């Protein structure tokens, strides 16, 4: 199904193709059923029914009330709304001015927290992670108090695949009545999320990570969580996110989420088989290679490495020329030669961190794709090492 025939896509953590059934579900809402859900007439009523149907679908799959789901423009916006909205409101109401995040967050969280600290008087503090990039609950327990405005932790890590112990972290937050936000943008495609209100107060989602369209997201906000709207205007989305809703994309997101949380979870075993084939083949065939992230508590589709003596960007270029679309870790870092903060936080040295590679499979990946890849990768790594030795020798 790859768009560019004979190219193999191994970057499902960056984005996914939209499932045909999702496109199908969206189409009527661009044309025949184009109404504004806020309008009183029949066109508006039809759009509103579609919007509320989508909201109920997502709420049902999460086991929450539909009034706890707010649609946004993307995963990034959901993270921004959670952090900024809750931080401002908790500071206004209770004077809580500390923000605790892990050092392995997506930039949608870490740069938002940084801005809150630099421009809005919040004190930003980082939780601890181990060498797998997993957040340490004991350390959270040690530093949390009522003066914390919000705690934010990534569920399934986009760069290193590690799955965090969110239930345990959430329980600690709840003991102090501190809102706990989870970035579930990656995990939505791979982990069952029903009952998430037992362990978090907010959770961010983005449709294009689970075979839905780009440019639409959602935020779960548990009832009673203090939050200041970040977009003000017509009062849509319960007054929390004004702006006319993108009905076709929201309908698509709900359809995609339903597919992800039902049949998507059923292909887990085959994704894990592909993932582990890639991991073991790299470990067996490439000297000076290291798996990054947790060996087993990781996203089903996610393999990530660092290679000694290899420039990760150079490797990506050679892979691309050989027909494989991979990533160095995070799509947002393209063109940025600085080592990943996530890898540094796990104790990986800066030169080694520059040799990173992320390979993420998905529902359209085949065994043949994987075999082709594992046969080519060692040759490319070897080629880069040889080239850099030759350059040094001159």
Cβ proximity to ligand PLP: between 74 and 202 the closer is 74
Cβ proximity to ligand PLP: between 113 and 185 the closer is 185
DSSP, collapsed to helix, strand or coil, labels residue 357 as strand
Taking the complex as a whole, the smallest distance from the CB of residue 343 to ligand PLP amounts, in Å, to 15
Among positions 104-123, residues that touch ligand PLP (CB under 6 A) are 106, 108
Contact by Cβ (8 Å): 238, 66: no
For residue 391, what are the contacts with CB-CB under 8 A and spacing of at least 6?
Answer: none
The site map against ligand PLP for 117-156 (x = CB under 6 A) is: -------------------------------------x--
Burial class (CB in 10 A: 0-12, 13-18, 19+), 165: middle
For residue 49, what are the contacts with CB-CB under 8 A and spacing of at least 6?
Answer: none
Q: Per rule CB under 6 A, is residue 298 in the interface with ligand PLP?
A: no
Burial class (CB in 10 A: 0-12, 13-18, 19+), 347: exposed
Q: Per rule CB under 6 A, is residue 360 in the interface with ligand PLP?
A: no
Among positions 177-216, residues that touch ligand PLP (CB under 6 A) are 183, 185-186, 206, 208-209
Q: Which of 74, 173, 326, 332 is catalytic?
A: 332
Cβ proximity to ligand PLP: between 76 and 225 the closer is 76
DSSP, collapsed to helix, strand or coil, labels residue 250 as helix
Catalytic residue flag (residue 332): yes
Beta-bridge mates of residue 289: 307
Taking the complex as a whole, the smallest distance from the CB of residue 76 to ligand PLP amounts, in Å, to 3
- Binding ligand PLP (rule: CB under 6 A), the pick from 74, 247, 250, 310 is 74
DSSP, collapsed to helix, strand or coil, labels residue 232 as coil
Cβ proximity to ligand PLP: between 253 and 279 the closer is 253
Residue nearest to ligand PLP (CB): 75
Sign (positive or negative) of CA dihedral 150, 84, 79, 346: negative
DSSP, collapsed to helix, strand or coil, labels residue 307 as strand
| Candidate segments 75-83, 266-274, 280-288, 312-320, binder of ligand PLP by CB under 6 A | 75-83
DSSP 153-222: EESB-TTT-BBP-HHHHHHHHHHTT--EEEE-TTGGGTS--TTGGGT-SEEEEEGGGTTS-SS-EEEEE-
Cβ proximity to ligand PLP: between 12 and 373 the closer is 12
Cβ proximity to ligand PLP: between 69 and 154 the closer is 154
Cβ proximity to ligand PLP: between 153 and 377 the closer is 153
| Candidate segments 70-78, 254-262, 269-277, 286-294, binder of ligand PLP by CB under 6 A | 70-78
Q: Per rule CB under 6 A, is residue 76 in the interface with ligand PLP?
A: yes
Spatial separation of the C-alpha atoms in residues 353 and 49, rounded to whole Å:
49
For residue 278, what are the contacts with CB-CB under 8 A and spacing of at least 6?
Answer: 303, 359, 361, 370, 373, 374
| Candidate segments 71-79, 93-101, 298-306, 365-373, binder of ligand PLP by CB under 6 A | 71-79
Q: Beta strands of the chain (E only): which ranges? A: 8-9, 69-72, 98-101, 123-126, 148-154, 180-183, 202-206, 217-221, 289-291, 302-307, 324-325, 356-360
# residues contacting ligand PLP (CB under 6 A): 15
- Which residues form the interface with ligand PLP (CB under 6 A)? 74-76, 79, 106, 108, 154, 158, 183, 185-186, 206, 208-209, 217
Residues labelled as active-site residues: 332
């Amino acid at each position: 199904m790859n768009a560019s025939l004979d190219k193999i896509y191994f970057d499902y953590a960056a984005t996914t193709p939209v499932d045909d059934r999702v496109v199908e579900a969206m189409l009527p809402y661009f044309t025949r059923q184009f109404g504004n859900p806020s309008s009183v007439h029949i066109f508006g009523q039809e759009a509103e029914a579609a919007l509320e149907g989508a909201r109920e679908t997502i709420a049902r799959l999460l086991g929450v009330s539909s009034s706890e789901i707010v649609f946004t423009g993307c995963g990034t916006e959901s993270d921004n709304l959670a952090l900024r909205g809750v931080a401002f409101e908790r500071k206004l109401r209770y004077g809580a001015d500390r923000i605790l995040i892990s050092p392995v967050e997506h930039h949608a969280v870490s740069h938002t927290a940084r801005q809150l600290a630099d421009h809005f008087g919040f004190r930003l503090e980082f939780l601890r992670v181990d060498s797998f990039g997993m957040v340490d609950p004991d350390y959270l327990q040690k530093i949390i108090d009522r003066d914390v405005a919000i705690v934010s932790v990534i569920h399934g890590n986009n760069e290193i695949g590690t799955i965090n112990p969110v239930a345990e972290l959430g329980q600690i937050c709840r003991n102090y009545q501190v809102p706990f936000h989870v970035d579930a943008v990656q995990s939505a495609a791979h982990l069952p999320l029903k009952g998430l209100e037992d362990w978090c107060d907010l959770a961010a989602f983005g449709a294009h990570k689970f075979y839905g369209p780009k440019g639409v997201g959602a935020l779960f906000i548990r009832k009673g969580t203090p939050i200041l709207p970040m977009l003000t205007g017509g009062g849509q989305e319960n007054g929390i996110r004004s702006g006319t809703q993108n009905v076709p994309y929201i309908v698509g997101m709900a359809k995609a989420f339903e597919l992800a949380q039902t049949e998507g979870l059923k292909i887990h075993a085959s994704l894990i088989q592909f993932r582990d084939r890639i991991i073991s083949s790299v470990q067996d065939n490439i000297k000076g290679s290291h798996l990054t992230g947790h060996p087993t508590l990781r996203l089903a589709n996610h393999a990530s490495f660092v290679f000694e003596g290899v420039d990760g960007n150079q490797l990506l270029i050679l892979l691309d020329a050989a027909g494989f679309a991979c990533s160095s870790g995070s799509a947002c870092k393209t063109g940025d030669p600085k080592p990943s903060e996530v890898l540094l936080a796990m104790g990986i040295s800066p030169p080694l961190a520059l040799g990173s590679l992320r390979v993420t499979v998905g529902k359209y990946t085949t065994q043949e794709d994987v075999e082709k890849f594992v046969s080519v990768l060692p040759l490319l790594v070897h080629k880069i090492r040889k080239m850099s030795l030759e350059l040094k020798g001159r």
